[in-house]
Amino acid sequence: MTQQDTFSAPSSSFARADAFSPALVRLVERVQPGIAQVRRGDRGAGTGIVWRADGYIITNYHVVAGNGIAIQVLLNDGRTFDAKIVESNPRIDLALLKIAANDLKAIPAGDSAKLRVGELVFAIGHPWGQRGVVTAGIFSKMSEVKLRGSDETLQYIQSDVLIAPGNSGGPLLNADGEVVGINAMIFGGDLAVSIPANTVSKWLANLPRRQPVPGIEAYPVDLPAGLRQSADQPVGLLIASVKPDKEDVLVGDVLLSADGKTLDDVATLLDVLARKNSTDEVQLRLVRGGEIQTISVHCGVLEGEVLENEAT
C-alpha cells in the first residue's frame, strides 16, 4: 500500500464533511424562525413549531396540559404572544395553539413515511431552557404502540437524536429541513421518540372545519365542567382573534348566546347578525375572566372582512 493510498480515504471524508457542515448551518438558519418556545405559567417550557404563517403552532399536549394555566409563545425573533389552545388530543399527545400573528415563517412538513433506516435526522429545541439547541442522530425504526382504552395503534419514530425536557413539541427534521416528526420523549436505550409528521397532518385534516365569522375569528369549544351548570349549556364560541379596531369583544371571551339564542355553532351567530343592521345592538352573554357577563354591542363590532379560520 502506498502512502497516497493510505491517506486518500481520510482526505475524501474530510471533503464530504466540509461540504456537509455549511449545508447543515444553512438548514438550521432557515428553520430557526419557525421554532418557538412554549411557556406554561411557572411550570416549565417546551418547544413549538410554526405550522402555519397565520399564527398556528403545533406542540405536544403534555407541554400545555392543565386547566387555567397561562400559555405564552416566545418566537425566535424575541416577540412574545399569549396563546390559546385551539385543539388538543391527549391520546396522541398533540396540541394546536393560536397566537395573534400572521407574519410567521412556517416550517414545511415532510412525508414521514419516506424515512429510511440510517437516514440522518436533526432535533432543534430548548432542553432545560437552553434555546435553539441542535442535535443530530440516525433514524432507527418506525414502531407502534397501542392507545389506552382503544384498539387503535399509534406509530412513532425512534432515533438516537439527543433530546431532554424542553425539547418536547419541537421538530425532528430531515436533511431537507422538513418536519418529519414532533419530538415527544425518550424510551429506554437512549432512543428518542417522535410523533410522525403524517400523524400530525392526518389529525389536523380530520378536525371539524370552522366557519368564518365577520370581524372576529371564533370556533366552538366545550365548556369546563364548572361552567356548564351555571351557563346551562355544554358548548360556547371561543374568540380566537379580533380585528384591531374591535374592542368590545376580547380574545379569550367565550360567547354563550346572542339575543337569547344559544351559540353552539358559528352559523347561529351569523344568522343573528344577518337579521340586523350594523347600527343595531346585539345582547351577548359570554364568559370573561371565568365569570358570566351580559354586554350590549353594536353589530358593527362583529362585522368586517371575513377571516380565514381553518386549522388545516
* Residues with a known catalytic role: 62, 93, 168
Largest CA distance in the chain: 93
State the burial class of residue 185 (Cβ atoms within 10 Å of its Cβ: 0-12, 13-18, 19+).
Answer: middle
| C-alpha grid cell, residue 210 | 370552522
Q: Hey, is 73 helix, strand or coil?
A: strand
CA 44, 50, 51, 55: dihedral to nearest 10 degrees?
A: 100
Helix ranges, 112-191 (H): none
For CA atoms 119, 120, 125, 128, give the dihedral sign.
positive
d(CA 261, CA 308): 24
Question: Which residue is listed with cell 346572542?
Answer: 258
* Strand positions, DSSP E, 153-215: 153-159, 171-173, 179-187, 191-196
d(CA 169, CA 94): 8
d(CA 123, CA 110): 14
| C-alpha grid cell, residue 123 | 432535533
